[in-house]
């Protein structure tokens, strides 16, 4: 079953979402995309997850893709985390009794980790792809800027050549009309400075079984981010896997089926 539509947040922002459910699903996954992209870039991932027997709920973060909200803007990182909860609740309500997981890539990995720290006891586990957990050197300059003076100052999306070793993926990304060509100073600071600082303080509350996956040659989010997450989670059911030579988008690399198989095996062992 394929279904798409809009869901409204309590403050009235409409979020675009897609639901893909195979026959007789054995688990559900809420998928959270990264900065400047949108959930439509995960069609292949969702196709494979459906083949594994998992239903998938995915959505465009506010200000991204086909969701409402000021383009590339956010004034409070908690809104991203709370938006994800809308889809967790929808998935739970529509699929009572089925185990539910969350899969987050990059900034979506930050949202996923933040969700884990803020909303315990709702999921069976979480999966991370190149998550942003610590401050990134590429955003060091943000700390020197007067964000409140120009919160909507545009910041170009200039890292496309580093997302993947597959040049076709890069070309498709650059030509995708739904991929943001720029974000804003406020979004970047509230997530990548304020958000990661909050996460560092609150990781002690994180208690979900988790699978942490990262590209060994990721030049956007260093693998140290995933290593930090792994080392600072207190529970025993945690797995860290680094894919040598992979760039940032491990789910788009030529060897993506290997990554998806690892996800399948991990999920199947927990349902």
Which residues have a catalytic role annotated?
A: 106, 218, 248
Characterize the bridge pairing of strands 54-59 and 182-184.
unpaired
Cα of first residue to Cα of last residue in the chain, in angstroms, is 22
DSSP state of 137: G
Contacts of 85-88 with C-beta under 8 Å, sequence gap 24+, read 85/115, 85/119, 85/122, 86/7, 86/9, 86/15, 87/7, 87/17, 87/30, 87/57, 87/59, 88/30, 88/115, 88/119, 88/122, 88/123
* Total number of residues shown for the chain: 271
Is residue 21 a contact partner of residue 46, using CB atoms and an 8 Å limit? no
CA angle 255, 261, 267 (to 5 degrees): 145
Using an 8 Å Cβ cutoff, are 99 and 105 in contact?
A: no
- Asked if residues 151 and 75 have their Cβ atoms less than 8 Å apart, the reply is yes
Phi, psi of 160 (to 5 degrees): -60, -35
């Amino acid at each position: 079953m394929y279904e798409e539509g809009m869901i409204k947040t309590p403050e009235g922002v409409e979020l675009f979402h897609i639901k893909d459910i195979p026959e007789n699903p054995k688990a559900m996954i809420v998928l959270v995309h990264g900065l400047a992209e949108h959930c439509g870039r995960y069609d292949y991932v969702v196709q494979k997850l459906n083949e594994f027997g998992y239903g998938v709920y995915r959505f465009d973060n506010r200000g991204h893709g086909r969701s409402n909200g000021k383009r590339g803007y956010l004034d409070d990182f908690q809104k991203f985390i709370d938006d994800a909860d809308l889809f967790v609740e929808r998935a739970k309500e529509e699929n009572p009794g089925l185990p539910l997981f969350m899969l987050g890539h990059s900034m979506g990995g930050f949202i996923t980790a933040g969700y884990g720290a803020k909303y315990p006891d709702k999921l069976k586990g979480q999966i991370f792809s190149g998550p942003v957990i610590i401050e990134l050197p590429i955003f060091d300059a943000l700390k020197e800027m007067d964000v409140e003076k120009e919160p909507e100052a545009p910041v170009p999306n200039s890292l496309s050549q580093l997302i993947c070793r597959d040049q076709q993926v890069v070309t498709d990304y650059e030509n995708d009309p739904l991929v943001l060509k720029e974000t804003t100073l406020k979004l970047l600071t509230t997530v990548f400075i304020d958000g990661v600082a909050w996460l560092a303080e609150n990781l002690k509350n994180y208690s979900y079984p988790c699978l942490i996956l990262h590209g060994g040659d990721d030049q956007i989010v260093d693998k140290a981010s995933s290593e930090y997450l792994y080392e600072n989670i207190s529970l025993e059911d945690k797995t860290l896997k680094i894919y040598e030579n992979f760039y940032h988008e491990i789910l788009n690399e030529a060897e993506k089926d290997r990554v998806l198989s690892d996800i399948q095996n991990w999920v199947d062992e927990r349902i």
